């Protein structure tokens, strides 16, 4: 699975560009990297590699938005998602995820009109709704890449916006990716070569996260939400395509 130097350099360049997209929208990096890596290393190796890369990618992203962390939402999401992450990782190791991918993709796309309806009626997701949604996010994170779209949708629905969404999403994802990497190693899905590939991808993304932070500070709140919703739509469509590919 070890990539040669030119291929690894090309993947690193893709990682840098993907980090810009993910740094502005809070997700999308995994979707782009999955599309780039699947033809090179195969679908079964992608999620473990991106678990390692995700720790570094989101560490860089969190650094730039750390002052905006919404601690209560972070604690709630982490506590609700971790048990289901373990379950999802086990499912990934033993089962085909086509049906689950189809359901998740459809739900992701449905989050767009759902969020707009809630906002129009001045309704925000309460503690229980956020916890239930976080469980779905944890389960999805164990079986697929690009599931940050679910968490960002939940945080928007809970009333967070702008850098608060990005900071809370990044720190939550760091914790989950660390757990995923440990679980994938336990299930013999993550070896030293995969970990090294993930580390290179993660390090290459840091300049992209810095550029994204600069862009976010100059982007109006309405435009930022519209950008995120566009990514949500394409992220959900990708999950559907990926499930039936």
pLDDT at 103: 66
pLDDT at 222: 65
Percentage of the chain lying above the pLDDT 70 cut: 80
1 pLDDT more than 60: no
C-alpha of 190 from chain center: 19
Per-residue pLDDT band at 187 (split at 50, 70, 90): confident
74 pLDDT more than 90: yes
pLDDT at 37: 81
Q: Are 157 and 125 in contact (CB under 8 A)?
A: yes
Per-residue pLDDT band at 79 (split at 50, 70, 90): very high
The token duo for 38 is 């699947």
Per-residue pLDDT band at 144 (split at 50, 70, 90): confident
pLDDT at 45: 79
The rounded distance, in Å, linking the Cα atoms of 132 and 217 is 31
Nearest to 164 by CA among 77, 39, 36: 77
pLDDT at 131: 94
Mean pLDDT calculated for residue range 102-108:
67
The rounded distance, in Å, linking the Cα atoms of 100 and 52 is 23
Q: Convert the pLDDT of each residue in 158-180 to its tens digit.
A: 888 878 988 999 999 999 999 98
Q: Are 11 and 201 in contact (CB under 8 A)?
A: yes
Mean pLDDT calculated for residue range 199-210:
89
Question: Which one is predicted more confidently, 95 or 94?
Answer: 94
Mean pLDDT, the chain, whole residue set: 81
Q: What is the pTM assigned to this prediction? A: 0.75
Q: Are 226 and 36 in contact (CB under 8 A)?
A: no
Per-residue pLDDT band at 191 (split at 50, 70, 90): confident
Give alpha helix (H) positions in the chain.
5-25, 29-41, 43-65, 71-94, 98-120, 127-143, 148-157, 163-186, 192-216, 221-244
Per-residue pLDDT band at 135 (split at 50, 70, 90): very high
Q: Which residue has the tokens 């566009």?
A: 230
């Amino acid at each position: 699975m070890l990539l040669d130097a030119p291929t690894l350099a090309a993947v690193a360049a893709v990682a840098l560009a993907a980090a810009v997209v993910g740094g502005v929208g809070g997700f999308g990096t995994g979707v782009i990297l999955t599309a780039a890596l699947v033809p090179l290393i195969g679908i079964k190796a992608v999620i473990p590699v991106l678990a390692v890369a995700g720790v570094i990618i989101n560490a860089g992203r969190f650094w730039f938005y750390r002052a905006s962390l919404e601690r209560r939402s972070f604690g709630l999401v982490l506590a609700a998602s971790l048990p289901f992450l373990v379950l999802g990782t086990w499912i990934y190791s033993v089962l085909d995820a086509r049906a689950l991918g189809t359901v998740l993709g459809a739900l992701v796309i449905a989050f767009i009109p759902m969020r707009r309806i809630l906002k129009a009626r001045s309704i925000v997701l309460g503690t229980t709704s956020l916890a239930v949604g976080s469980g779905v996010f944890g389960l999805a994170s164990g079986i697929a890449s690009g599931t940050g779209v679910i968490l960002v949708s939940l945080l928007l629905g809970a009333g967070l916006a702008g850098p608060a969404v990005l900071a809370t999403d990044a720190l939550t994802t760091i914790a989950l990716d660390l757990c995923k990497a440990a679980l994938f190693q336990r299930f013999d899905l993550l070896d030293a070569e995969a970990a090294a590939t993930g580390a290179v991808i993660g390090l290459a993304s840091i300049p992209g996260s810095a550029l994204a932070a600069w862009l976010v500070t100059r982007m109006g709140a309405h435009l930022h939400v519209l950008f995120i919703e566009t990514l949500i739509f394409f992220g959900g469509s990708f999950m559907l395509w990926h499930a039936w590919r």
